[in-house]
Amino acid sequence: MASWDVGTRAWFPNPADGFIPGELVERKKLAADDSTSTVETTEEALRDTHNPNLPPLMNPPMFEAAEDLTNLSHLNEPAILQAIKLRYAQKEIYTYSGIVLIATNPFARVDSLYVPQMVQVYTGKQRNSQAPHLFAIAEEAYTDMLRDTRNQTVVVSGESGAGKTVSAKYIMRYFATRGTPGQSLKGSKSRADAISETEEQILATNPVMEAFGNAKTTRNDNSSRFGKYIEIMFDKQTDIIGARIRTYLLERSRLVFQPLKERNYHIFYQLVAGATERERQELSLLPVDQFEYLNQGGDPRIDGVDDAAEFNITKKAFTTINVSESTQREIFKLLAALLHLGNVKITATRTDSSLSATEPSLEKACAILGLNAADFAKWIIKKQLVTRGEKIMSNLTQQQATVVRDSVAKFIYSSLFDWLVEIINRGLATDAVLQQLHTFIGVLDIYGFEHFAKNSFEQFCINYANEKLQQEFNQHVFKLEQEEYIREEIDWTFIDFSDNQPASI
């Protein structure tokens, strides 16, 4: 439709639905006191389909659900929402927007989308020859890596619960099961059952990292509480030879505090639910509701999740990445010690605080950690200042001493987390691997934007990281586009976009 004739369809703001469709049924002459020139201008305005003073136009029904939003004739906010909504209703969760893939969370099992045959559908294919899919993005990264001999990165972004981690895992799985084109196209059998040990180890890093770095929040039962960048490494023959993980800012406060309906890191609940009777005895494990570090969020159950079964998955994954059973036992001991530390009762005295070396939880924690309980108790309730050779000791209040106790727990846990990443890398990015490394594909999966009733400094950092990423995206995409227009000598006017620069300096 070239102009606002009768029958033109457009979007109108609506408080309940965002936008509702409308159609021009009649054009009326303006009131008599309007000057003729205004009428003429209005006529002109009605011919301009991009006039920002008029409601945004609808696309013809046939083209409303475009596979790529850039194909929409009328590209405006309601048209974009409509396209994604219509596709979602048809169980099409993926839509392109130029170089970007928009993934809507199906909140339902859509396993058929990711079966090995689907990997084959996308292997060796151009992106626009198949329906939009995560695998097409992975494939594009792979072919670009080969073509340009350059490292690639797939950035997954979105608010908390959007589906970033699930997507990142499917991307990793795609590379692990893809194989080289010759291999995967042979016969109808997928390569999935022939994945190499290295590929298996790379995939096994996921259950481990999630057990220690993910937790239930009010937004997501499996929310990542750290940022992750994994490089999947290829040699000259484009075989996967290893991987390297880098993590960012694990949320430490969660270890000692969880808001209502939230949980601490999954691994603790897995340990309490899945430990053998012997381990339970050895580590003096109590039920979840009796550990202060686990019971603040209330009911610890997650619908559809069996923590004991998850514990077995974590242990199996540990074994796959060559963490021996004895090392696993040491890790679990450390976790139990942290739980006991959280139960240590520091009492308030008239002036400061006291903690006896025989406080039962402290005894348990120290026994497991191999620490001297008397020394440990002393340094929780006292502090020492050293000034020019002089040592001044002072007592802490109950509140200050509790902060010290919690800080020790947070420090130990985050050191454990960093150590885990280190041993994963030691196994998957050995010197031999780094020598053969030709190119890699990175996958970035950070924690999504979030806004809770109470937001800590960590939420600020999480949201800031998301703003930075958005800024990177803006610059990259708009700069790239502009360069292309200049190269092709296209006459264009710069599109005004919502720039978050002020929030991401």
Ligand X SMILES: Nc1ncnc2c1ncn2[C@@H]1O[C@H](COP(=O)(O)OP(=O)(O)OP(=O)(O)O)[C@@H](O)[C@H]1O
Q: Cα(422)–Cα(430) distance, rounded to whole angstroms?
A: 11
3-state DSSP assignment of residue 223: strand
165 vs 270, beta carbon nearer Mg ion: 165
Q: State the greatest distance between any 2 C-alpha atoms of the chain, in Å, as a whole number.
A: 95
Strand ranges in 167-310 using DSSP code E only, listed in sequence order? 214-215, 223-224, 227-234, 240-248
Q: Is 224 in the site for Mg ion (CB under 5 A)?
A: yes
> Phi and psi dihedrals of 215, rounded to 5?
-155, 165
474 CA to centre of own chain: 19
Q: Cα(412)–Cα(417) distance, rounded to whole angstroms?
A: 9
**Is 484 marked as a binding-site residue?**
no
Q: Does residue 206 have an active-site annotation?
A: no
Q: Does residue 105 have an active-site annotation?
A: no
Active-site hit among 76, 251, 450, 463: 450
User: In the complex, what is the shortest distance from the CB of residue 249 to ligand X, in angstroms, rounded to a whole number?
Assistant: 13
Q: From 36-44, 221-229, 289-297, 389-397, give the range in contact with ligand X by CB under 6 A.
A: 221-229
Q: Does residue 153 have an active-site annotation?
A: no
Active-site hit among 157, 224, 247, 295: 224
Q: Is 165 in the site for ligand X (CB under 6 A)?
A: yes
106 vs 124, beta carbon nearer ligand X: 106
| Residue among 440, 424, 414 at smallest CA distance from 204 | 424
**Is 182 marked as a binding-site residue?**
no
Distances (CA, A) of 489 to 250, 482, 485, 486: 47, 10, 6, 5
Structure tokens given for 373:
């309980």
Q: Does residue 450 have an active-site annotation?
A: yes
Active-site hit among 161, 213, 227, 342: 161
User: In the complex, what is the shortest distance from the CB of residue 104 to ligand X, in angstroms, rounded to a whole number?
Assistant: 9
233 vs 255, beta carbon nearer ligand X: 255
| Residue among 282, 265, 222, 254 at smallest CA distance from 420 | 265
The contact mask relative to Mg ion for 164-203 (x = CB under 5 A, - = no) is: xx--------------------------------------
Q: Cα(434)–Cα(337) distance, rounded to whole angstroms?
A: 37
Q: Is 132 in the site for ligand X (CB under 6 A)?
A: no
Residues constituting the chain: 505
10 vs 465, beta carbon nearer ligand X: 465
- In the structure, how many helices (H) and strands (E) does the chain have? 16, 14
Q: Does residue 220 have an active-site annotation?
A: yes
Q: Does residue 223 have an active-site annotation?
A: yes
Q: From 159-167, 272-280, 323-331, 390-398, give the range in contact with Mg ion by CB under 5 A.
A: 159-167
Q: Does residue 224 have an active-site annotation?
A: yes
Torsion of CA 236, 240, 245, 246, to 10 degrees: 30
Strand-pairing partners, residue 96, are: 68, 101
Residue 79 near residue 11, CB atoms below 8 Å: yes
Q: From 56-64, 157-165, 227-235, 383-391, give the range in contact with ligand X by CB under 6 A.
A: 157-165
Q: From 7-15, 104-112, 288-296, 421-429, give the range in contact with ligand X by CB under 6 A.
A: 104-112
297 binds, among ligand X, Mg ion, none (CB under 5 to 8 A by kind): none
**Is 163 marked as a binding-site residue?**
yes
Give residue for tokens 């381990």.
Answer: 279
Q: Is 164 in the site for ligand X (CB under 6 A)?
A: yes
Q: Interface with Mg ion by CB under 5 A: which residues?
A: 164-165, 224
Q: Interface with ligand X by CB under 6 A: which residues?
A: 105-107, 110, 158, 160-166, 219-220, 222-224, 447-448
Q: Please identify every residue annotated as catalytic.
A: 160-161, 165, 220, 223-224, 448, 450
Mark the binding-site residues for ATP, compressed into ranges: 158-165
